[in-house]
Amino acid sequence: MNTYFNKTYIIFDRELRGYFRTPLASIFLLVFLALSSGMTFFLGRFFERDQADLIAFFSWHPWLFLILMPAIGMRLWAEERRSGTIELLITLPVTNTQLVVGKFLASWVFTLIALVLSMPIWITVNYLGDPDNNVILISYIGSWLMAGAFLALTSCLSTLTKNQVIAFIISSISGFILIMAGFSLILSAVRSWAPVWITETISSMSFLSHFSRIQMGVFDLNSLIFFLSMIILCLWINIQLVQIKKAD
Amino acid sequence: MPLKLIDANNLKKSFGNFIAVDNIDLAVHRGEVVGFLGPNGAGKSTTMKMLTGFLEPDSGDILINNIDLKSYPLEAKQFIGYLPEGAPSYSDMEVSEFLSFVGKMRGINNKNILNRRLDDMANQINLKDVWNRPIETLSKGFKRRVGIAQALIHDPDILILDEPTDGLDPNQKHEMRDLIKNISKNKAIVISTHILEEVEAVCSRAVIIANGKLLANEKPVNLGNNLKQKSVLCILLSNKINSTISKEIKANLNYKNVEIQSVSNTSGKILMQGDEKSLDLNKIIAQLKKQKLHVVEAYFIKPTLDEIFRKITQGE
C-alpha cells in the first residue's frame, strides 16, 4: 500500500515541478491574480457594493476557470502522447490509475497555490470590514473543488489528442456546456422534447448553480459531493481512455 | 541451459485489418543478445511493445522471468528495462532529475542505492558532461544515451532496446555496441536495428521479422554467410560493347551468372554473381586483358538489408 501511494507521489512530484520548470507557472499565476482581482474590482464593483464579502471575487471563478483550467490541464496527457513518453510511463511498474491520479493531483495542487496566493483579497476585506469568514472559507473550498472538476474534465479530454491546443479547445467548450447547463435558455430548449428526468439531470449538472449555492455560504453537501463525483467520474473515464488511446 | 528470461508464444496483434504481428514465438535466455532485423513496419516495434507490456497481444502469452506479464504486469515489468523507439524523455527535465525520476519509479527507494546507480550511469554511459543540463538542449546522441541510461538505471535482467544506435555517430555507435556486449553476460537483451553489421558485432542470435512473421532465427554468422553468396562483382570497362564482344566475354569467362551491359559508346559493365571466395578477381581481369578489354574498376556489391528482406520475404 505504501509503495502504491509512493509511486503516485513520485508522478505527482514530477508533474508539479514541471509547472515551475517553464515560465508557464508564473505566467499562469500572474494571469489568474490579475484577472481575478481585476474582475472583482472593475466588473464585480467590489467597492460600490459596499459589502464586506467576497461575492464579487468568487462569482467570476466559473468563467475564469473555464479558460484557465484547460490551460493548466491541456498538456497532462496530450503532451505525453505527442512526445512518446507515454510509452515510458506505461512500461514502468505502475498502474494507469496511479498515473492519472498523480498527474491530476499535481494540477489540482497547482491551482490551490493560485487560490492561496489570492488571499490578500481576503485580508483586505477583513481590514475594511467584518466579513463572514466561514462563508469565505466555504467559498474557497467550493472554488477549489470546482477547479478540480474542470481539471479532471480537461485531463480526461487531453487523452483524446496529441495536440495541446485541441485539448484546450475541447475542454473549454465542454466546460462551457457544463456551466451553461443550468441556464433556462438551454433547459427550455431541451424541455421541449426530452422527458423531465433528462432536463433535471442536465440542470443538476450545472457547475454554475452548484457553485453559486456554495458561494452563498450554504455548506451544501450536495454541491460538494457533485464536484467530487464529477472529479472521480472524469478520472475514471480518463483511466479507461489512457488504456484505449495509449498506442494510437 | 541458462534461464529463459523471455518466453513468448503465439503472439498476435492486429490494428484494424492490418496484422502487425502474426504468430511470433520468441525465447531469450540469460546471456543472449537477440537482434531484431526488419524493415519499418515489419512488426519489430510492435513485438517489443508487447514484450514490455505497453501493448496487450490479441492472443498468445508472454512470460517474463516465468511471471505471466498479462496477469502480473507490475511484478513482471520490474525485470525489464526499455528504450522505446526514438528514445523519448521529458525534455524539460535535467538529465540527473530524469534518471532519478525513472529510478524511483522503478522502485529504487533507498537514497544511497539510487545515488550509486546514478553515478554508475554517469560513468558507464558517459553522461557526466551533460549531467545537469536540460534534456532538450542535448544532441541526438546524448538524448539516446539518456534513453539507454533510464533503461539501465535499475540494473534489469531484461533489456529491450528499440534502435539503440539510431542517430549516433560512428564512435558513439561503437561505444554503444561495446556497452551492450559488456553488460550482456548476465542479461537477456533484445535490440532492433536496420544495420546488419551491428547484428554481427553484438548479437548472439538474429531474428528477421517481415510482415509480422518471424522468417529467420539463427546465428548472425549463418545469416551473413547466407548473404555473401548473393553479392555481385561489378567490372567497369572502357570499351565499346556489342553483341559479338559480349558473346566472346561470356565464352571466355565461362561462368554461369554473367550479365553484360553497354553503358555508353565507350564503356560497358560486367556483372557476375558471387563473392570474394567464389570468384578469382585476378584471373578474371587477366582473362579480360587477353581479350584486349580495359578494366577501369572492379568491386563487389554486397546486398543491402532491404534486398535481403525482399529476397527472404519473397521466399527466394
Per-residue pLDDT at B114: 94
Q: Does residue B71 belong to the interface with chain A, where contact is any CB pair within 8 Å?
A: no
Is the fold of B4-225 the same as that of B229-309?
no
**Cβ <8 Å between B105 and A246:** no
Distance CA A10, CA A8 (A): 6
Q: Does residue A90 belong to the interface with chain B, where contact is any CB pair within 8 Å?
A: yes
Q: Are A108 and A41 in contact (CB under 8 A)?
A: no
Q: In 10 A of CB A106, how many CB atoms?
A: 21
Distance CA B138, CA A21 (A): 17
Q: Which residues of A touch B109 (CB under 8 A)?
A: 3, 6
**Cβ <8 Å between A83 and B91:** yes
> Could you give the C-alpha distances from B9 to B25, B62, B63, in angstroms and in order?
4, 7, 9
- CB pairs below 8 Å between A and B: how many? 66
Distance CA A95, CA A109 (A): 21
Per-residue pLDDT at A162: 93
**Cβ <8 Å between A85 and B90:** yes
Distance CA B79, CA B65 (A): 8
Per-residue pLDDT at B309: 61
Per-residue pLDDT at A206: 81
**Cβ <8 Å between B92 and A21:** yes
Q: Are A209 and A184 in contact (CB under 8 A)?
A: no
The chain A residue lying nearest B151, using CA atoms, is A88
**Cβ <8 Å between B93 and A21:** yes
Q: Does residue B167 belong to the interface with chain A, where contact is any CB pair within 8 Å?
A: no
Q: Does residue A109 belong to the interface with chain B, where contact is any CB pair within 8 Å?
A: no
The minimal CB distance from B105 to the residues A18, A21, A92 is found for A92
Interface probe for B, chosen from A24, A88, A164 (most Cβ of B below 10 Å), is A88
Per-residue pLDDT at B232: 84
- What does pLDDT average to over chain A? 87
The chain A residue lying nearest B78, using CA atoms, is A93
Q: What is the mean pLDDT of each run of 10 residues along chain A (248 residues)?
A: 82 94 88 86 71 78 91 93 94 95 96 91 85 86 93 96 94 90 76 80 79 76 88 96 89
Interface probe for B, chosen from A90, A96, A99, A248 (most Cβ of B below 10 Å), is A90
Q: Are A107 and A117 in contact (CB under 8 A)?
A: no
Question: What is the fold of B4-225?
Answer: Rossmann fold (3.40.50)
Q: HEC profile for chain A?
A: CHHHHHHHHHHHHHHHHHHHHCCHHHHHHHHHHHHHHHHHHHHCCHHHHCCCCCHHHHCCHHHHHHHHHHHHHCHHHHHHHHHCHHHHHHCCCCCHHHHHHHHHHHHHHHHHHHHHHCCHHHHHHHHHCCCCHHHHHHHHHHHHHHHHHHHHHHHHHHCCCCCHHHHHHHHHHHHHHHHHCCCHHHHHHHHCCCCHHHHHHHHHCCHHHHHHHHHCCCCCHHHHHHHHHHHHHHHHHHHHHHHHHCCC
Amino acid at A160: L
The angle that helices A207-215 and A221-245 make with each other, rounded to 10 degrees, is: 140
Q: Are A152 and A234 in contact (CB under 8 A)?
A: yes
Q: Which residues of B touch A83 (CB under 8 A)?
A: 88, 90-91
**Cβ <8 Å between A7 and B105:** yes
> Which A residues in the span 126-145 are in contact with B, Cβ-Cβ below 8 Å?
none
Q: Which residues of B touch A90 (CB under 8 A)?
A: 53-54
Quick: pLDDT tens for A19-32.
998 888 889 899 99
Per-residue pLDDT at A195: 81
Smallest CA–CA distance, residue A149 to chain B, in Å, is: 27
**Cβ <8 Å between A94 and B105:** yes
Smallest CA–CA distance, residue B133 to chain A, in Å, is: 13
The CATH class of the B229-309 domain is alpha beta
Q: Does residue B100 belong to the interface with chain A, where contact is any CB pair within 8 Å?
A: no
Q: Does residue B52 belong to the interface with chain A, where contact is any CB pair within 8 Å?
A: yes
Q: What is the pLDDT along chain B (316 residues), one digit of tens a residue?
A: 668 899 999 999 998 888 899 999 999 999 999 999 887 778 889 999 999 999 999 999 999 999 999 999 999 999 999 999 989 999 999 999 999 999 999 999 899 999 999 999 999 888 999 999 999 999 888 999 999 999 999 999 999 999 988 878 888 888 888 889 888 888 999 999 877 778 888 888 888 888 888 887 877 767 656 655 567 888 898 888 888 888 888 887 777 778 888 888 888 888 888 777 778 888 888 888 888 888 889 888 876 655 666 666 565 4
Q: Which residues of A touch B105 (CB under 8 A)?
A: 7, 10-11, 92-94
Domain ranges of chain A: 2-245
Q: Does residue B136 belong to the interface with chain A, where contact is any CB pair within 8 Å?
A: no
Domain ranges of chain B: 4-225, 229-309
Smallest CA–CA distance, residue A84 to chain B, in Å, is: 6
Show Cβ contacts of residue A189 under 8 Å, excluding neighbours closer than 6 positions.
Answer: none
